[in-house]
């Protein structure tokens, strides 16, 4: 079993994504804190729209709660769209959001190493913020490439190894996790530094774009709301957000608390 929770199948298929709440709370806390950096879903849709005509068949692999899925339906007007995720709970949210928006799309519960889709079925694929859950991301890329038509386009998105690294030092300084600064990056399997190499084994990489995102947590409660959603640390303090916020307020310097993440986009085509 890996010491990295993002590579622990028991956690990935269990507590991390069994429900919708943790990911929703994490996303909300980050969005509130974000002070710079492009909107990821908009960037993905823009990159695909430049290469893929309307009416295409599109895969959204690791669709999560469906934010990018909705943007793709609006921007690309696909003939068919498959939203794929291994989490039933997240797929339920995506399906409900598609329905509420009056958008067409099929949800597929599947592991991205074994997609229940025919060869050469799609004109485009999005693979965002999910391949770092695989100890063998190259095999997942090969499976996604199989599903693309020759000449089909993929946009693959991940984060840098040092994303949110400033929080490691804050958690350590607040004496919440003595090993916070030595724990492996959640993104060690598939990150900005190895993105090109892994993707290029099965697809032709056209471009790689890096975008720095900056986040500023306004106060201890805001930071606590984010920290309680991340599986990286081993915080044993009980009492939930109020007690965590109190500990942060007492042990750290005054807010705001700033952290950074590099989001990297690879645009690639199937030869």
Residue 149, domain CATH: 3.40.50.150
Pairing relation of β-strands 204-217 and 257-269? antiparallel
- Inside any domain, residue 42: yes
Beta 148-159 vs 257-269: how paired, if at all?
antiparallel
Report the pLDDT value the prediction gives residue 15, as an integer from 0 to 100: 87
Q: Is 143 domain-assigned? A: yes
Question: How many domains are there within the chain?
Answer: 1
Determine the pLDDT at residue 2: 62
CA distance 253 to 243: 17
User: Between the CA of residue 264 and those of 19, 114, 132, 220, 269, what are the distances in Å?
Assistant: 27, 25, 13, 29, 17
Indicate whether 241 belongs to any domain.
Answer: no
Whole-angstrom Cα distance, residue 75 to residue 201?
29
Q: How far, CA to CA in Å, does 40 sit from each of 101, 151, 152, 159, 185?
A: 20, 24, 21, 11, 21
Q: Indicate whether 221 belongs to any domain.
A: no
Whether residue 199 is contained in a domain is answered as yes
By CB atoms closer than 10 A (0-12, 13-18, 19+), residue 76 is buried
The one-digit pLDDT tens for each residue of the chain (271 residues) are: 468 999 999 999 888 999 889 999 999 999 999 999 999 999 999 999 999 999 999 999 999 999 999 999 999 999 999 999 999 999 999 999 999 999 989 999 999 999 999 999 999 999 999 999 999 999 999 999 999 999 999 999 999 999 999 999 999 999 999 999 999 999 999 999 999 999 999 999 999 999 999 999 999 999 999 999 999 999 999 999 999 999 999 999 999 999 999 999 999 999 9
**Position 193 in a domain:** yes
- Whole-model pTM: value is 0.96
Residue 158: inside a domain: yes
Residue 244 lies in a domain: no
Note down the domain range covering 50: 5-162+184-214+260-269
Kindly state the tokens that stand for 1: 């079993």
């Amino acid at each position: 079993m890996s010491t990295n929770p993002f590579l622990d199948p028991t956690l990935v298929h269990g507590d991390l994504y069994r429900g919708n709440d943790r990911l929703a709370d994490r996303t909300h806390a980050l969005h509130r804190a974000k002070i710079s950096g492009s909107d990821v879903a908009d960037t993905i849709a823009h990159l695909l729209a430049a290469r893929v005509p309307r009416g295409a068949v599109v895969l959204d692999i690791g669709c999560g709660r469906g934010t990018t899925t909705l943007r793709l339906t609006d921007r690309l007007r696909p003939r068919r769209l498959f939203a794929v995720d291994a989490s039933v709970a997240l797929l339920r949210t995506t399906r409900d959001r598609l329905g509420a928006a009056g958008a067409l799309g099929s949800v597929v519960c599947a592991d991205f190493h074994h997609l229940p889709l025919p060869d050469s079925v799609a004109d485009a694929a999005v693979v965002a913020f999910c391949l770092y859950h695989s100890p063998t991301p190259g095999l997942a890329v090969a499976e996604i490439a199989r599903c693309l038509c020759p000449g089909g386009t993929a946009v693959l998105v991940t984060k840098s190894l040092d994303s949110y690294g400033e929080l490691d030092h804050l958690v350590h300084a607040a004496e919440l996790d003595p090993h916070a600064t030595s724990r492996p990056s959640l993104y060690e399997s598939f990150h900005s530094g190895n993105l090109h190499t892994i993707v290029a084994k099965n697809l032709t990489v056209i471009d790689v774009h890096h975008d720095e995102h900056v986040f500023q947590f306004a106060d201890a409660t805001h930071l606590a709301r984010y920290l309680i959603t991340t599986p990286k640390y081993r915080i044993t303090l009980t009492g939930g957000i109020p007690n965590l916020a109190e500990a942060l307020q007492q042990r750290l310097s005054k807010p705001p608390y700033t952290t950074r993440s590099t989001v990297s986009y690879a645009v690639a085509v199937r030869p």
